[in-house]
Chain A
Amino acid sequence: MAGVKHVVHQPAPGALGRRRRSRLALLSVLALLVLAAALASLAFGARQISLPDVWSAIFSPTGTGDDVVVRTLRVPRTILGIAVGAALGIAGALMQGHTRNPLADPGLLGVSAGAAFCVVLGVYAFGVTSLFGYVWLSLAGAFAAGVVVFMLGMISRDGPTPVTLALAGVSLTALLQAFSSALVLDDAATLDAYRFWSVGSLAGRDGDIAAQVAPFLAAGLLLALVNTAGLNLLALGEDVARGLGVSVTRVRWTGLTAVTLLTGAAVAACGPIGFVGLVVPHVCRIFTGSDHRWLVPASGLAGPVLLLGADVVGRVVVWPGELPVGIVLVLVGAPVFVALVRRRKLVSL
């Protein structure tokens, strides 16, 4: 069969390059959007500061009131927003890929609630007050909650379908929130620590929080990028992936570790923030397709755009007060969720 040319399934010459170029263009557009959102986040707030003043505050501070506001409040907040947005977007993309579940999101599947509950428990039972302690507790809680939800999905007679997983997440969230409220009401010190981040907000975080969670986020990011190629093969089905020489167990554990690190660190820093991990990968998938090597970086860039954008909206709509970003995101994310649920075929990913 020497004369047969296997060109049927090959793209035309240049098509691959064009596709790659358009994806690279998408990533650069997203990077520009992150920059724009960061600028908006620096410029808007209770105190009105013009862009030139923001510029001079960052690069040639003179110690005016504006400079102090920008340097001590808005810059840390923006950095935190970028880091947490990227973490949540990537965690959502990985969860949706691993569970092949369009409704997967750290908030919806109870992972954030697990992290939050563990922190509350740590504060209540052991008097943990340092952010370093929060991070480890939060990681443990995120991991445990993820495992419990997937176990519930596995032992369910219907199997781990998007619907059973989403409902398992909802019920676990309700249970853990009830326990958290019980602990909080019992102890004023816990209440004080809990109020700090129970709503999911970027406001009022210390400047060094981003630095403290950075190692965890970096590790999670690295694992996520390593995970993408294996995840693409897993999308063919576990049997095919195994036949192609993929260690399914290793890819799964890498993914779970990455999701745990990213979500746990994000919750420790900002409290439970929902719907970023749900919305971002879906929007990115429209442009990148289901290739995770592109989807994950794109989600990592689109996450900060959404989170910072929602944060700015929250600062503008009730000016001079502000709305926690978690609330704005629910109002943005719930319609997307409803649209996804209304699609005819829910299971296909």
Chain B
Amino acid sequence: MTRERVHARLAVRLGPLSGVWRPRIVLVTLLGLAAVTLTLALNVAVGDTPLSVGEVFTVLSGGGPRSHRYIVLDLRMPRTLAGILVGTALGLSGAITQAVTRNPLASPDVLGVTAGASAASVSIIVLGSTSATVSAIGGSVGVPLAALLGGLLTAALVYALAWRRGIEGFRLVLVGVAIGASATALTSWLLIVAEVSDAARATVWLTGSLNGRGWEHVVPVAVGLAVLVPVALLLSFVLGVLHLGDDTASGLGARVDRDRAALIVVAVALAALATAGAGPIAFVALVVPQICRRLAGTARPPLLTSAIFGALLVLAADVIARTVPRTELPVGIVTAILGAPYLMWLLARGVRGARR
């Protein structure tokens, strides 16, 4: 590990990787982490049997009465962890997509990837009962796998259709909206032709809800994230050079096409994983990276910070969804109500850079 100074900033170098020491990002990230911990405790604390935040921490550190342990560890913790994992995946996915496309409007939900992943997952849920082979590989592996395939397929389709002597930001977004609408229509079609019981299961999943998430939902997402997050963070080191534009980046020795393709695949996989875990949750991937970019004062969305704030947004939205309305709402509705005005504000400001 060597250290040198670049323009009054401390540069850090470790093997082939290098970065600049930015205290503000570190500070923002640590604050985000603290906020996630607090919201986690809050999310576990609220419910039919209210606990205090202190009691939650007692249980998490290994103490507390048995009833509290049951409520916290068996009932509320899986849901909260699912929220954290899904939010992390969405925030990271959005940050990578926006950094690679250099377009603040690009995110897996706007580009239709989430809708494609949902359509594929619903087809597995619906076909699961009619076909024995599908049902055998179904269960816990089938839905995430189908979501992954559906997401990748949709992303490839959107990219191919938006390609016309290069990718233009707005064309990519509009093609994504159209493909997303088609995927949603396909999902509705599947729901109509499905058996009633399958349709009911799929509908619950489709509302983008953390309700009823158990450990069996948490584990596949956690395993997937354990693989994808390190890959994403390693790949993120080429983002800086990609941000300079294709020509400059290849001139500096980056393998632009290969690196970009790898980043996009990782971003799509993260979004698909999140969708498989909790259904389509709107606007998190769009909003979080831009907020983090402004908080951290960086040129492109910071990945790790976006991941943590993604978890924070999903958890906070879940707390709101469970406490504010009379009946509990799916978390996806709350994130849409928080996120859509932000998209409007982004439009009203004029989207610099999105034309590129």
A residues near B (Cβ < 8 Å) are 103, 152, 155-158, 163-164, 166-168, 170-172, 174-175, 177-179, 181-182, 185-186, 199, 274, 318, 321, 323-324, 326-327, 330-331, 334-335, 337-338, 341-342, 344
Q: Which B residues are in CB contact (< 8 Å) with A178?
A: 282, 332-334, 336-337, 340
* Chain A CB within 8 A of B326 CB: yes
**Residue pair B193, A318 in contact (C-beta under 8 Å):** yes
Instruction: Indicate which residue in A164, A274, A335, A344 contacts B347 across the interface (CB closer than 8 Å).
Output: A164
- The answer to whether B192 and A318 have CB atoms under 8 Å apart is yes
Residue numbers in B under 8 Å from A321 (CB-CB)? 192-193
**Is B66 located at the chain interface by the 8 A CB criterion?**
no
Cβ B344 vs Cβ A185 within 8 A: no
| A152/B333 in contact, CB under 8 A | no
Closest chain A residue to B321 by CB distance?
A182
Tell me the complex Cα distance, A170–B336, Å.
12
Whether B175 lies near A324 (C-beta < 8 A) is no
Q: Indicate if the CB atoms of B340 and A163 lie closer than 8 Å.
A: no
Contact A175 B348 (CB under 8 A): no
- Among the 9-residue stretches B16-24, B41-49, B166-174, the one with 4 or more Cβ atoms under 8 Å from chain A is B166-174
Name the distance in Å between B339's Cβ and chain A's nearest Cβ: 8
Which of B29-37, B176-184, B226-234 faces chain A?
B176-184
Say yes or no: is B161 at the interface (Cβ < 8 Å to chain A): yes
Give the residues in chain A near B349, CB-CB below 8 Å: 156-157
**Other-chain residue from B161, B336, B341, B350 in contact with A158 (beta carbon distance below 8 A):** B350
Interface size on B, as a range, is: 35 or more
For the complex, give the distance between the alpha carbons of A101 and B128 in Å: 44
Q: Please tell me if the beta carbons of B337 and A341 are within 8 angstroms of each other in the complex.
A: no
Q: How many Å from the CB of B283 to the closest CB on chain A?
A: 7
CB distance from A178 to the nearest CB of B (A): 4
List of A residues within 8 angstroms of B192 by Cβ: 318, 321, 323-324, 327
CB proximity to A under 8 Å, residues B133-191: 161-162, 164, 170-171, 173-175, 177-179, 181-182, 184-186, 188-189
Q: How many interface contacts (CB-CB < 8 Å) are there between A and B? A: 116
A-B contact pairs, 8 of them (CB 8 A): A152-B347, A166-B174, A167-B105, A167-B347, A168-B347, A171-B341, A178-B336, A318-B192
CB distance from B141 to the nearest CB of A (A): 30
A143 to chain B, nearest CB (A): 18
- The complex places the Cα of A286 from the Cα of B170 at a distance, in Å, of 26
8 Å CB contact of B161 from A168, A199, A324, A342: A342
Task: Give the Cβ gap from A348 to chain B, nearest Cβ, in Å.
Answer: 15
Q: Would you call B340 and A186 a contact (CB within 8 A)?
A: no
Q: Nearest Cβ in chain A — how far from B267, in angstroms?
A: 21
Grouping DSSP codes into helix (H, G, I), strand (E, B) and loop, the B interface class, with mixed when no group exceeds half, is helix
Instruction: Report yes or no: A179 in contact with B188, Cβ–Cβ below 8 A.
Output: no
Given A156-B350, A171-B347, A338–B185 Cβ distance below 8 Å? no
Q: List residues 189-228 of chain B with CB under 8 A from any CB of chain A.
A: 189, 192-193, 207
- Is A167 a contact of B343 with CB atoms below 8 Å? yes
Instruction: Find out whether the CB atom of B170 lies under 8 angstroms from the CB atom of A163.
Output: yes
The residue that A338 contacts in the complex, of B170, B175, B283, with Cβ under 8 A, is B175
Which residue from B170, B181, B327, B330 sits with its C-beta under 8 Å from A334? B181
CB closest chain-B residue, reference A336:
B178
| Chain A residues closer than 8 Å to B179, beta-carbon distance | 334, 338
Q: What chain A residues lie within 8 Å of B336 (beta carbons)?
A: 174-175, 177-178
Closest 5 A-B residue pairs measured CB to CB? A157-B350, A175-B340, A178-B336, A330-B185, A171-B343
B128 to chain A, nearest CB (A): 19
User: Is A330 a contact partner of B174 (Cβ separation < 8 A)?
Assistant: no
Known contacts A177-B336, A182-B337, A185-B327: A341-B171 contact under CB 8 Å: yes
* B348→A330 contact, CB < 8 A: no
Whether B188 pairs with A324 at a CB distance below 8 angstroms is yes
Contact of A330 with B347 in the complex, beta carbons under 8 Å? no
B325 near A: Cβ within 8 Å?
Answer: yes
Q: In the bound complex, how far is the Cα of B170 from the Cα of A166, in angstroms?
A: 10
Residue of B173, B326, B329, B348 touching A152 (CB-CB under 8 A): B348
Q: Which of B174, B185, B283, B332 contacts A341 (CB 8 A)?
A: B174
Q: Are B174 and A152 within 8 A (Cβ)?
A: no
CB nearest neighbor in A for B339: A174
A163 pairs with B174, CB closer than 8 A:
yes
Across the two chains, which residue of chain A brings its CB closest to B283?
A174
Q: Is B38 on the interface with A (CB-CB < 8 A)? A: no
Say if the beta carbon of B244 comes within 8 Å of chain A.
Answer: no
A186 partner, pick from B178, B282, B325, B348, beta carbons under 8 A: B325
Find out whether the CB atom of A167 lies under 8 angstroms from the CB atom of B333: no
Contacts of B348 in A (CB 8 A): 152, 155-157
Interchain CA distance A277-B185 in the complex, whole Å: 18
Q: B10: CB under 8 A from chain A? A: no
Q: Looking across the interface, which residue of chain B has its beta carbon closest to that of A329? A: B185
Q: How far is the CB of B171 from chain A (nearest CB, A)?
A: 6
**Residues of chain A lying within 8 A (CB to CB) of residue B282:** 174, 178
Q: Are B340 and A327 in contact (CB under 8 A)?
A: no
A179→B185 contact, CB < 8 A: no
Question: Once the chains bind, are A175 and B327 in contact (CB under 8 Å)?
Answer: no
Min C-beta distance of B158 to chain A, whole Å: 9
Contact A174 B105 (CB under 8 A): no
A185 to B337, CA, bound (A): 15
- Asked if A172 contacts B193 (CB within 8 A), the reply is no
Interface flag for B26 (CB, 8 Å): no
What are the residues of chain B within 8 A of A157 when measuring CB–CB?
348-350
The yes or no answer to B351 lying at the interface (CB within 8 A) is yes
A170: chain B residues at CB < 8 Å are 177, 343
In the complex, A324 Cα to B175 Cα: how many Å?
24
| A156, A175, A178, A323 — most chain B CB neighbours (10 Å) | A178
Question: For residue A337, which residue of chain B has the nearest CB?
Answer: B178
